[in-house]
Structure 1
Amino acid sequence: MTQHPLDLATHLTPKGNGRLEGHTSPGYWNMMGPFGGTTAATLLRAALEAPQRLGDPVALTVNFCAPIAEGMFEIELIEARTNRSTQHWMIVMRQGDDMVATASAVFAVRRESWAHQPAALPKLPPAETLTPMDTVGRNAWLSRYEFRFAEGAIRFEPREDDKPDSAYSSLYVRDLPERELDFTALAALSDTFLVRIFQVLGKFLPAGTVSLTTYFHTDAAGLAAQGTKPLIGTADSKVFRQGYFDQTAELWGADGQLLATSVQTVYYKA
């Protein structure tokens, strides 16, 4: 294989007039469709590869409008506005006549400035002391990542009681096979935390992300410095109510820099 599975899964072929064509990947398949992180990464890659792209992504919001079927899809990329410091993109994914996902992305050229990081790096044991999660026989996308949980490991067997558990998880995570970190990979990694209601109730039930926003806190050089080292990740939720809940996540580099934060709204039926 000459390309990483993520590069193959997010590959896009330009068709002219701001339109690109891609294909879902069986290697990143989830329960009913492609892993949402792959969809987010694909939509971001459309803007990343635009010839007129300015700087690096600062924010990406993806709205999952409908189930994405296996097969071809088309992306429409629109440069909504470019200012002196920021560039705004609108991105639409379609399958046939169906709009299945939309996104907005903000890019900017980062400049050196006063910096301050009030957030504290989570304290985890060394990665090598934690056992990787066994993903054999699970949804295909899980095998595309290495998960080493320090707290709040994914439970695949239902709990005997219905008492809500903590929504918090902390872990080391990275691509499998190993891959140099870039914005495409980081966009996908921001969605690698299973929806929190599975963790809280200890069972799987109908649920799915409706909207995911990822904020990027470094430039391409900052990601390149990470190399293939695992990221430290945390995920949590604050409220489950009336069929929807929030989910927040952080992704930290090996040098203690906060690389990305995300928040998503998730539908559930319970």
Structure 2
Amino acid sequence: MSAHVFDQAVALTPAGEHQWAGQTHAAYANMVGPFGGITTAQVVNALMQHPQRLGDPIALTVNFCAAVADGAFVITATPVRTNRSTQHWTLAMTQGEETVFTGTAVTAVRRDTWSLDEEPMPTCPPPHEVPIPTMKPPMEFVKRYEQRVITGPLPQVWDGSGESSVSQLWVRDNPPRALDFVSLAAISDIFFPRVFVRRSTHVPAGTVTLTTYFHVHAAELSQVGEGYLLGQARAQAFRNGFFDQTAQLWSEAGVMLVSTHQLVYYKQ
């Protein structure tokens, strides 16, 4: 059986100390270059393959220095300090002589403690009661995800009539794939730029920096399997060419898996 298209897209080959070589994949193409989530996932895959890795990812910050071009790339993932239960990393992606992506990560060995999700999962209809949108996917990568939008869809008419930046949706890989940290990193960036939803106006926009916090360890994540995730995203401020948007993803069981925060450039 051939590998899932996601696994094909994030496949890496060792290329030296702390380095892995990979290739962009047409199945995850965005308007310009690849979907940012797949680039993030490729970097997380390098981190997960590193023989010196301690524990699971708990925090990841990625900075998109330039548009990733279609073609080959090299990822460098370097552990810069290892403590008893946490490990700190620097990350970079290069294409030729150009650095297109920088970042940092923290991995950790989690332990059982008092735990609580302060932000509860929103009350929403279950996945199979929410229809799949009938509109044609605007970009190739959108086809790689089954998205059942509850509120805040991508506008079908760009007429400036938007009133809220909030979106809620059920989502999973298409075809379904058991969730892991690599695919979770990708799916955490599934939300369209909030400026599209808030303004119903199509303007140039792109992520500048994205931070993802992982709230579960590998054993907890494995319990999700191929199930749906409930996602919610909103912006907080649009000003002078940049806006921030925050998002959360919960399992069907109501467990928060990740929260994210990103700063996005927009042109007008």
Distance 1:135 1:142, change over 3 A: farther
C-alpha change, 1:135 and 1:44, in structure 2 (3 Å) is farther
Q: What is the TM-score of this pair, normalised by structure 1? A: 0.97
C-alpha deviation, 1:51, in angstroms: 1.0
Residue matched to 2:80: 80
Deviation at 1:202, TM superposition (A): 0.7
Partner of 1:46: 46
Partners of 1:137 and 1:253 in 2: how far apart? 24
Q: How many angstroms apart in 1 are the aligned matches of 2:158 and 2:135?
A: 17
Match of 1:207 in 2: 205
Question: Residue 234 of structure 1 aligns with which residue?
Answer: 232
What does residue 21 of structure 2 align with?
Answer: 21
Q: CA deviation at 1:52?
A: 1.3
- 1:1-270 aligned at under 5 Å gives the runs 2-134=2-134, 136=136, 138-159=138-159, 162-270=160-268
Q: Does the CA contact (< 8 Å) of 1:146 and 1:173 recur in 2?
A: yes
Determine if contact 1:64/1:102 at 8 Å carries over to the other structure: yes
Question: For residue 210 of structure 2, what is the amino acid of its counterpart?
Answer: L
Secondary structure of the corresponding residue to residue 53 of structure 1: coil
Following superposition, the deviation at residue 164 of structure 1 comes to: 4.4
Shift of 1:157: 2.7
CA–CA distance in structure 2, aligned partners of residues 135 and 79 of structure 1: 44
Taking the aligned partners of 1:212 and 1:3, their CA distance within structure 2 comes to 28
* CA displacement 1:153-210 (0-9 Å, x = unmatched): 1113312xx3542000111011001000000011001100000000011122110000
Counterpart AA for 2:175: P
* Aligned-partner SS, 1:43: helix
SS at match of 2:236: coil
SS of equivalent residue, structure 1 residue 222 = helix
Residue 135 (structure 1) shift: 5.6
Secondary structure of residue in 1 paired with 2:75: strand
When residues 222 and 157 of structure 1 are mapped into structure 2, their CA distance, relative to the original with a 3 A threshold, is same
Q: Deviations over 1:208-228 (max 9, x none)?
A: 000000000000111110010
CA distance in 1, matches of 2:36, 2:235: 18
- 2: CA distance, partners of 1:188 / 1:151: 21
Instruction: For residue 248 of structure 1, give the secondary structure of its aligned residue in structure 2.
Output: strand
Please give the per-residue CA displacement for 1:133-164, whole angstroms capped at 9, x wherever unaligned: 236352110000011111111113312xx354
Q: Which moved more, 1:238-247 or 1:131-140?
A: 131-140
Which residue identity lines up with residue 257 of structure 2 in the other structure? L
Name the SS for the 2:20 alignment partner. Answer: strand
Count of residues paired in the alignment: 268
**Compared with structure 1, are the counterparts of its residues 16 and 135 closer, same or farther at alpha carbon in structure 2 (3 Å cutoff)?**
farther
Q: Which runs of 5+ in 2 are unaligned?
A: none
Measure, in 2, the Cα distance between the counterparts of 1:88 and 1:257.
Answer: 26
Instruction: Work out the CA distance in 2 between the residues paired with 1:27 and 1:163.
Output: 32
Partners of 1:11 and 1:133 lie apart in 2 by: 30
- Secondary structure of the residue aligned to 1:237 is strand
Q: Which runs of 5+ in 1 are unaligned?
A: none
Tell whether the 8 Å contact from 1:60 to 1:104 is kept in structure 2 after alignment: yes
